[in-house]
Structure 1
Amino acid sequence: MSDKDDKISKSGSYASPPCLAHEIDPAYFDPLAVTPEQARDVQRWRKAKREALRSARKALSVAEHTSVSAKLSAKLEAVLQDRFNGARGQTLSMYWPIKGEPDLRPLMERLHHAGVIIALPLVEVKAAPLVFRRWTPDTKMVRGDWNIPVPPADAEQLTPDISLAPLVGWDNANYRLGYGGGYFDRTLAALAPSPYKIGVGYSSAQLPTIYPQPHDIPMDLIITAAP
């Protein structure tokens, strides 16, 4: 984990909207003052960037994907040990990998056996915050939204102390580029107290900025497989 990956984001670190990015110093951009035109520019830019980044990670070989997943797992374990005393007894929300995301499922099992409470997010209501259900290696998974395996309805519902978020892209201010549905930001805004937020993804998906908007919530930490 590089120093850049390991920094805690600071409020006020924003960049100019893409329509003016070549003309304006990023320090001058106020995301609370974006115009509808700027918001549309950002939306179009993000859609194009998502497609490019997802195509790039789909091109990874099986060996490359396996290597990145293993390195990320080791770094995450180290973070949990160093910052949370292993997170034993705490609830950690993770994710079931889709669309070329790093696969942390072996780590989920190791952490479970180490006493960490694992939760997985899912959509119960469209356009509403996610909910988190407890997962164990014995959980009989069912198909949820987008056909993603999730714990069943009778699984215990939890509130995470630490939350992982897979990254399509990420920037120097620890803002996350997701899939565009807004579920994760909506969920973080609704959780009180807010969990410690860790973004995990590919170092190659780093961007100078994602042009953060008022609804975007920065991660507390970004972890990649980079040295």
Structure 2
Amino acid sequence: MENTPGSAAWRKEKRQALIENRQAIPVAARLAADAQLAERLDEMVQDVSGKTISLYWPFRGEPDLRKWAAACQERGARLALPVVVAKATPLEFRRWQPGDKLEKGVWNIPVPPEGAEVVLPDIVLSPVVGLDAQNYRLGYGGGFFDRTLAALRDKGVKARAIGVGYAHQRMDTIHPHEFDIPMDDAILIET
């Protein structure tokens, strides 16, 4: 496998290094950065009443925004979690609120069980492995978020995609491919 900028091997190498760096962030620094992310999100999205926000269950050192999401729910937002339903397909967004029963999904990430209400989000929070200057997101390599954003747009749903992460995840470019979709907004916080 050739390791040229933008190739699968290059992305795999970058992904591994960025995830290792993120997991090495001390817990106290991560918690402080997550609080700053929550403040910045409040400034960015402002009135959440009546909106559906898709967050994610934190995995491998990703920012934990569940407290922020619970506060948004108290201000009238509905919450959802993304669910992988099949390989190489868009994610499904299932309604969720703190305290709801969850089951193990792909990579043992907790997800709402089958049968939970499927919703279309107004705001999609997407954790980044890497993020470039044009807001293209380097993820885990499955293409789920890109397929999902494309499918939502095909349905006429313009969900606001916000990439979230830590400043060390900033990259000059991910060398986007034709199927990569940039985030509408992004917040990367120093740790």
- Report the TM range for the smaller structure's normalisation: over 0.9
CA distance in 1, matches of 2:67, 2:139: 23
Counterpart amino acid of 2:28? A
Name the count of aligned residue pairs.
Answer: 186
- The corresponding residue for 2:69 is 108
- The corresponding residue for 2:160 is 196
More helix by share: 1
Counterpart amino acid of 1:187? T
- C-alpha root-mean-square deviation of aligned residues, in Å? 1.6
Gaps of 5+ in 1: 1-17, 22-40
- The corresponding residue for 1:171 is 132
Give, in angstroms, the shift of residue 77 of structure 1: 1.3
Q: Which has the larger radius of gyration?
A: 1
CA distance in 1, matches of 2:143, 2:183: 15
- The corresponding residue for 1:44 is 9
Superposed counterparts of 1:29-68, under 5 Å: 42-68=7-33
- Determine helix, strand or coil for the equivalent of 2:90: coil
- The corresponding residue for 1:223 is 187
Give, in angstroms, the shift of residue 194 of structure 1: 2.9
- The corresponding residue for 1:182 is 143
Q: Show CA shifts across 1:12-56 (max 9, x none).
A: xxxxxx84x7xxxxxxxxxxxxxxxxxxx5211111000110111
TM-score by length of 2: 0.93
Name segments (4+ residues, structure 1) moved above 3 Å. Answer: none
CA distance in 1, matches of 2:38, 2:7: 32
CA distance in 2, matches of 1:206, 1:124: 30
- The corresponding residue for 2:44 is 79
Q: Once structures 1 and 2 are overlaid, which stretch shifts more, 201-210 or 153-162?
A: 153-162
Query: Is 1:123 equivalent to 2:84 in the alignment?
Result: yes
- Determine helix, strand or coil for the equivalent of 1:72: helix
CA distance in 1, matches of 2:24, 2:189: 17
CA distance in 1, matches of 2:31, 2:51: 27
Counterpart amino acid of 2:34? S
Q: Which residue of 93, 108, 129 corresponds with 1:147?
A: 108
- Determine helix, strand or coil for the equivalent of 1:65: helix
Q: Show CA shifts across 1:116-140 (max 9, x none).
A: 1111001122221110001112311
Q: Show CA shifts across 1:152-187 (max 9, x none).
A: 222211011111110000000110000001111111
- The corresponding residue for 1:11 is none
Q: Show CA shifts across 1:80-134 (max 9, x none).
A: 11xxxx1210111110000000111111111111111111001122221110001
Gaps of 5+ in 2: none
Q: What percentage of aligned pairs have identical amino acids?
A: 49
CA distance in 1, matches of 2:73, 2:48: 10
